[in-house]
Amino acid sequence: MSENHYLDEFLTFLRVERGLADNTINSYRYDLEQYVSFLSAQKLKLFQATQNVILSFLNQQRLLNKSARTRSRMLAALRGLYRYLLQEGLVTTDPTENLTSPKLEKNLPRVLSVQEVEKLLSQPNSGTLIGLRDKAMLELLYATGMRVSEMLGLDTEHLNLELGFVRCMGKGSRERIIPIGEIAQNYLREYLSRCWLKLRKSTGERALFLNKNGRRLTRQGFWKILKAYAKKAGIQSEITPHVLRHSFATHLLENGADLRAVQEMLGHADITTTQIYTHLSKRKMREVYEKSHPRA
């Protein structure tokens, strides 16, 4: 059987048995295809790879200026693949067993100040159909800290505006309930009553956020919308959809929110992932101290 056959079987296993998100599956597919191309150039098969072969592949990626984070993800994909092949009895040893991931730089995520968030959220013209949709989206994203893929995957029935919460599906098909603030609730009500039916072209469409063609808005579509509003708001630094998620978490912790509650709202499986935001709030505290204390 071809190498691609084993890759397809492994990726199907990850999707069906492990419940990994499509974005993760696509990243793993890309990484593993790079690896198979490397093996082919060396005239090697998956089953012939040794630890040195994998180290050579990762070193090649480093020479191609791939970041430590990308190389770490590649190694994770290879680890998963060889463990799967071992489990299926297709290999007798795991060549990734004693390999360690490249050391990652601990870059703190970019976060908007409260004032920058206010500027950004004030940009859409809620007097128009598209402007009101954009306003509802941005308010919901900042109110809940959802990932953009989670927000764009919402259907109308996932909202409960009477009780003020949204039900979303996160990584690994884990469902969670997140409260929605009153301001976001109000804009969502207005969007649903004034715009949603006008944007929807098909009676079978259930997506909450629709594009001009009446179909579910895409990540690329949202990215363009966000960049345009950030530019209009005069935000100079690079902004991504994840920046609002980072800002949501940091602003909650700065105002005394419990770390476990923030972890639950963000949908982090491990609290150590959430703890990076405590570093951000401590940095902010230090800045305030140094600016304000007479002997700082």
Residues 211, 131 share a domain: yes
Round to whole Å and give the CA distance between 269 and 193: 36
State both tokens at 148: 């953009």
User: Does the annotation count 242 as an active-site position?
Assistant: yes
Residues 118 and 77 in one domain: no
CB 53, CB 39: distance < 8 Å: yes
How much is the pLDDT for 282? 58
**17 part of a folded domain:** yes
Give the CATH number of the domain where residue 174 resides.
1.10.443.10
Residue 108 domain-assigned? Answer: no
Element holding 168 (H helix, E strand): strand 165-169
> Within this chain, do residues 129 and 266 fall inside the same structural domain, yes or no?
yes
Return the pLDDT at 289.
Answer: 45
Does 51 share its domain with 139?
no
* Active-site annotation holds for 212: no
The active-site residue out of 187, 191, 229, 277 is: 277
In a domain, 21, yes or no: yes
- Within 8 A by CB and 6+ apart from 67, the residues are none
Closest Cα to residue 283, out of 142, 103, 110? 110
**Residue range(s) defining the domain that contains residue 250:** 114-292
CATH number at residue 40: 1.10.150.130
Q: Is 268 a residue of the active site? A: yes
Structure letter (DSSP) for residue 210: B
* pLDDT for the residue 274: 72
- Asked whether residue 147 falls in the same domain as residue 280, the answer is yes
Which is catalytic among the residues 212, 231, 242, 286? 242
How many other CB atoms are found less than 10 A from the CB of residue 276?
16
Active-site residue, from 135, 147, 158, 246: 147
- Check residue 45 and report its DSSP letter: -
Q: Is the dihedral of CA 207, 15, 101, 31 positive or negative?
A: negative
Residue 55 lies in a domain: yes
Q: How many domains does the chain have?
A: 2
Residue 239 exposed, middle or buried by CB count within 10 Å (0-12, 13-18, 19+): buried
Residues 162 and 124 in one domain: yes
Distance separating alpha carbons of residues 234 and 135, to the nearest angstrom: 17
Instruction: Look at residues 39, 71, 87 and tell me which one is the last residue of a structural domain.
Output: 87
Considering 79, 171, 176, 200, which one is annotated as catalytic?
171
Q: Are residues 135 and 254 in the same domain?
A: yes
Tell me, yes or no, whether 99 lies in a domain.
Answer: no
Residue 101 lies in a domain: no
> Could you write out the DSSP letters of every residue in 96-144?
TTT--PPPPP-PPPP---HHHHHHHHT-S-TTSHHHHHHHHHHHHHHHH
Identify the active-site residue in 66, 133, 135, 245: 245
Catalytic annotation on 293? no
Q: Are residues 123 and 212 in the same domain?
A: yes
Query: Can 277 be counted among the known catalytic residues?
Result: yes
**Which stretches of the chain score pLDDT less than 70?**
1, 103-109, 172, 277, 279-296
Number of Cβ atoms within 10 Å of the Cβ of 63? 8
> Are 209 and 257 part of one and the same domain?
yes
Note if 176 is an active site residue. Answer: no
Q: What is the pLDDT of residue 279?
A: 63
- Pair 169, 22: CB distance under 8 Å: no
Same domain, 39 and 81: yes
One domain, residues 267 and 142: yes
